[in-house]
């Protein structure tokens, strides 16, 4: 029996209240994988309790309703991946897909405000700055994003199911737009990296 299933089973067999805080702590320290979390078949209410604790511990700024809406999306309700729109071939500014990998990995080196119209019409977006993976030999169509934290991958995948908007993929600095949904992750955005397959 997995550690996560043991916590839930122990709570159920001892007639104790579901221990969302304990499960959340186990997720944060890496004792519960994304697959194990999904295998628990928790109710939406239980998932919300777990992620509220993660939100508090990690300093996220999303509201309760944003959290519930994100957790009720099909991406977090099922292990089936959300279909991602294909990248626009040859474009230095395009959506980048989520995919596991680490070749030429680049973590954020800073953040700034978007240029006019760079991230759409939302004026409170931020832009994460990256050294472009494998520059100057980058193939923009093969740049992907990933995170070492599965709950960050799940959250951003729910928020941005068609991919993350990126500019500058043909230069040495790539700019990735983050709206309010992504910004809510606070310092956990530092665990979102770009790589080239």
Q: Which of 17, 46, 77 is the last residue of a domain?
A: 77
How many whole angstroms separate alpha carbon 18 and alpha carbon 11? 6
The domain containing residue 50 runs over which residues? 3-77
β-pairing verdict for 164-167 and 94-98: antiparallel
Which tokens belong to 193? 């990296």
pTM of the model: 0.76
Q: Which of 52, 77, 102 is the last residue of a domain?
A: 77
Instruction: Identify whether residues 106 and 64 lie together within a single domain.
Output: no
Instruction: Identify whether residues 106 and 48 lie together within a single domain.
Output: no
For 146-180, the pLDDT digits (tens) are 999 999 998 998 888 889 999 999 999 999 999 88
Instruction: Identify whether residues 106 and 163 lie together within a single domain.
Output: yes
Q: Is the CA virtual torsion 88, 90, 91, 95 positive or negative?
A: positive
Q: Is residue 52 included in any domain, yes or no?
A: yes
Instruction: Identify whether residues 42 and 113 lie together within a single domain.
Output: no
For 109-151, the pLDDT digits (tens) are 999 998 888 887 767 889 999 999 999 999 989 999 999 999 9
Q: Is residue 88 included in any domain, yes or no?
A: no
């Amino acid at each position: 029996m997995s550690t996560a299933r043991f916590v839930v089973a122990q709570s159920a067999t001892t007639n104790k209240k579901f221990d969302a805080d304990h499960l959340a702590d186990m997720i944060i320290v890496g004792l519960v994988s994304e697959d194990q979390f999904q295998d628990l078949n928790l109710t939406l209410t239980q998932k919300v309790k777990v992620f509220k604790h993660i939100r508090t511990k990690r300093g996220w700024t999303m509201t309760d309703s944003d959290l519930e809406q994100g957790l009720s999306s099909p991406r977090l309700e099922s292990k089936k991946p959300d279909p991602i729109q294909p990248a626009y071939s040859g474009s230095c500014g395009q959506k980048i897909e989520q995919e596991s990998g680490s070749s030429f990995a680049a973590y954020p080196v800073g953040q700034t405000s978007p240029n006019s119209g760079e991230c759409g019409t939302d004026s409170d977006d931020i832009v994460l700055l990256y050294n472009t993976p494998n520059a100057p030999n980058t193939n923009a169509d093969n740049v992907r994003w990933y995170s070492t934290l599965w709950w960050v991958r799940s959250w951003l995948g729910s928020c941005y199911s068609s991919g993350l908007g990126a500019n500058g993929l043909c230069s040495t600095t790539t700019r990735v737009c983050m709206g309010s949904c992504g910004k809510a992750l606070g310092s956990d955005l530092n665990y979102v990296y770009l790589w080239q397959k």
